A and B are shown apart, each in its own frame.
Chain A
Amino acid sequence: GAGVSQSPRYKVAKRGQDVALRCDPISGHVSLFWYQQALGQGPEFLTYFQNEAQLDKSGLPSDRFFAERPEGSVSTLKIQRTQQEDSAVYLCASSPQVGGNQPQHFGDGTRLSIL
């Protein structure tokens, strides 16, 4: 498809397990963002990539959260030793350029539930 694709759509894990969430951005998009959305709240920024370089990870809540984009296209958000407070929707967005005024385009997210 032409949009941002995220998988899995839903993920259930037990507390303490590691999880990996995948994002396929729109082809050719340079910028990639991850956001976390708690129930009833707006999305909150986690981290930003420009091609393969992670330029901003100021929003990652702890060192259990790790993101990568090794070839400058697909990105993976990994959460180690999951906790119940990690339960949220994780959204990925991409945009075609660095800076400028081009909008970000979002996927439909991965809903993560930690039991």
Chain B
Amino acid sequence: DAKTTQPTSMDCAEGRAANLPCNHSTISGNEYVYWYRQIHSQGPQYIIHGLKNNETNEMASLIITEDRKSSTLILPHATLRDTAVYYCIVRVAAGAGSYQLTFGKGTKLSVIP
């Protein structure tokens, strides 16, 4: 699976949009971009995923560049409960293999009151 690069940490003011970038310049055509977050002492929580089109759900929006080499996760109105480590992961959707997720170090997002 392609390697991803994320900033180590970011701060965001409560109520503002949090924009978390991810670089995946070696992504293949059949690899999806997934975002998970992990709040202290909990398991990773699925947020959103996409292939090439922008996606939105009740938690966040995912913007993928046209060349698919980078993406941005947007939390439209950050709250203190959004403080967590955010992981950007690319993973093949079909083919041989067990489809495990390869986590990097992620971005530690701190939402500031």
> Which residues does A use to contact B, with CB under 8 Å?
4, 31, 33, 35, 41-45, 48, 50, 55-56, 59, 91, 93, 95, 98-101, 103-109
Q: Which of B41, B42, B93 contacts A100 (CB 8 A)?
A: B93
Shortest Cβ gap from A104 to chain B (Å) = 6
> In the complex the two chains form, what is the Cα distance from A55 to B99 in whole Å?
11
Interface range on chain B (Cβ under 8 Å from partner): 20 to 34
> Which residues does B use to contact A, with CB under 8 Å?
32, 34, 41-46, 49, 51, 87, 93-95, 97-106
Chain B facing A: main interface SS: loop
Identify 13 residue pairs between A and B in the complex whose beta-carbon atoms are under 8 Å apart, listed by A's number: A33-B100, A42-B106, A43-B44, A50-B98, A91-B44, A93-B101, A95-B99, A98-B99, A99-B93, A101-B32, A103-B46, A107-B43, A109-B43
On whether the beta carbons of A99 and B41 are closer than 8 Å, the reply is: no
Question: Which A residues are in CB contact (< 8 Å) with B93?
Answer: 99-101
Q: Which of B42, B87, B100 contacts A48 (CB 8 A)?
A: B100
Top 9 nearest A-B pairs by Cβ distance?
Answer: A42-B103, A106-B43, A48-B98, A56-B98, A45-B100, A103-B46, A101-B93, A108-B43, A99-B94
Question: Which B residues are in CB contact (< 8 Å) with A106?
Answer: 43-46
Shortest Cβ gap from A8 to chain B (Å) = 14
**Nearest A residue to B99, CB-CB:** A99
